[in-house]
């Protein structure tokens, strides 16, 4: 089932949907006599419409901090972030209401997005079918499996047809079939002009990205990816000076 028709106001191919320049974010250590930590040190990143960008790095390197800065939910110390169009953010930990059903969750977020009832119905039907969890629509969130919670988490980030989609490790709890369905959906969104950033640990999925940013010691290193998953250009450090999905134990209910 195809997604609802995107608005004519959506970004056109080639437009920048988010640009972060020289972002600085420092956390003070809670240990006495310890130094503060520069989680982001003059980090620069750009995402265009119709582009899938991977953000990679070791655990604790600051990837989620970067994603929250891009989403506008976390303050930063210095630098600039410019966004264009609607934003969909899928955090690593689902922020859902346990006592609401799946249907009620769509309705709640649809109201927050100022969507009409018909728009909510169309988006809900599309996403429940696309991610194969329609049979759980009357189930409360607290009674969903981890994989189905993540499907709902992703769905509420997508339902208002964002121009920029920010996904923080969206594969959590997905079985292999859902993982493949996720990538089919992601590539369809790219074709529709959505700019997408994905935090990923899956090295053998590099060929699915157009650009990869490696975050190390607070710095972002940019690499354009060719069709074989290798670098199409020499990696550069973007400072301006002027893991595998769960394929065994995470089966959907």
Please report, rounded to a whole number, the percentage of residues in the chain having pLDDT higher than 90: 70
Contact 225, 206 (CB under 8 A): yes
| Average model confidence (pLDDT) across the chain | 86
Is residue 141 predicted with pLDDT exceeding 80? yes
Measure Cα distances from 136 to 14, 15, 214 in Å: 38, 38, 37
pLDDT, tens digit, 9 for 90 and up, residues 53-77: 999 998 889 999 999 999 999 999 9
pTM of the model: 0.82
Quote the tokens at residue 142.
Answer: 């607290």
pLDDT of residue 21 exceeding 70, the answer is yes
pLDDT value, residue 205: 77
Is pLDDT above 80 for 86? yes
What whole-number distance in Å separates Cα of residue 16 and Cα of residue 49?
6
User: SS3 breakdown of the chain: % helix, strand, coil, rounded to 5?
Assistant: 30, 25, 45
63-to-164, 166, 217 alpha-carbon distances in Å: 17, 12, 11
Mean pLDDT over 180-205 rounds to: 90
pLDDT band at residue 3 under the 50/70/90 scheme: low
Tell me the per-residue pLDDT of 226-236, one tens digit each, with 9 for 90 and over.
765 555 554 44
Q: What is the mean pLDDT of residues 46-51?
A: 97
In the predicted structure, residue 8 carries a pLDDT above the cut 80: no
Cβ–Cβ < 8 Å for 221, 56: no
State mean pLDDT over 229-251: 44
What is the reported pLDDT for 252? 44
Give all strands (DSSP E) within the chain, no chain letters.
Answer: 16-27, 37-48, 52-56, 78-83, 87-90, 164-168, 195-199, 211-216, 219-224, 236-237
3 state DSSP class of 152: helix
Taking the C-alpha atoms of residue 12 and residue 8, their distance in angstroms, rounded to an integer, is: 9
Mean pLDDT over 45-49 rounds to 97
Residue 57 near residue 214, CB atoms below 8 Å: yes
Q: Any idea what the Cα angle at residue 2 is, between residues 148 and 136, rounded to 5°? A: 25
Comparing CA positions, the residue from 14, 81, 6, 95 lying closest to residue 43 is 81
Percentage with pLDDT > 70 across the chain: 81
Q: At residue 221, what are phi and psi to the nearest 5 degrees?
A: -115, 120
């Amino acid at each position: 089932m195809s997604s609802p028709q995107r608005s004519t106001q959506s970004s056109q191919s080639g437009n920048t949907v988010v640009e972060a320049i020289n972002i600085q974010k420092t956390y003070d250590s809670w240990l006495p006599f310890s130094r503060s930590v520069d989680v982001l040190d003059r980090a620069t990143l750009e995402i265009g419409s119709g582009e899938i960008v991977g953000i990679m790095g070791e655990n604790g390197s600051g990837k989620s901090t970067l994603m929250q800065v891009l989403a506008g939910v976390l303050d930063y110390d210095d630098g600039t972030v410019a966004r264009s169009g609607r934003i969909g953010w899928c955090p690593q930990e689902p922020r859902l209401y346990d006592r609401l059903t799946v249907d009620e969750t769509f309705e709640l977020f649809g109201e927050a997005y100022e969507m009409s009832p018909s728009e909510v119905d169309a988006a809900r039907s599309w996403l429940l079918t696309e991610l194969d969890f329609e049979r759980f629509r009357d189930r409360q969130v607290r009674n969903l499996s981890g994989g189905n919670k993540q499907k709902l988490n992703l769905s509420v980030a997508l339902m208002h047809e964002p121009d920029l989609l920010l996904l923080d490790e969206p594969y959590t709890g997905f079985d292999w079939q859902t993982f493949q369905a996720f990538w089919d959906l992601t590539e369809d969104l790219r074709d529709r002009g959505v700019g997408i950033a994905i935090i990923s640990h899956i090295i053998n999925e590099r060929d699915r990205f157009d650009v990869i940013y490696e975050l190390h010691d607070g710095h972002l290193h940019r690499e354009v990816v060719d069709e074989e998953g290798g670098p199409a250009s020499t990696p550069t450090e973007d400072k301006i000076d002027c893991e595998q999905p769960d394929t065994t134990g995470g089966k959907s209910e």
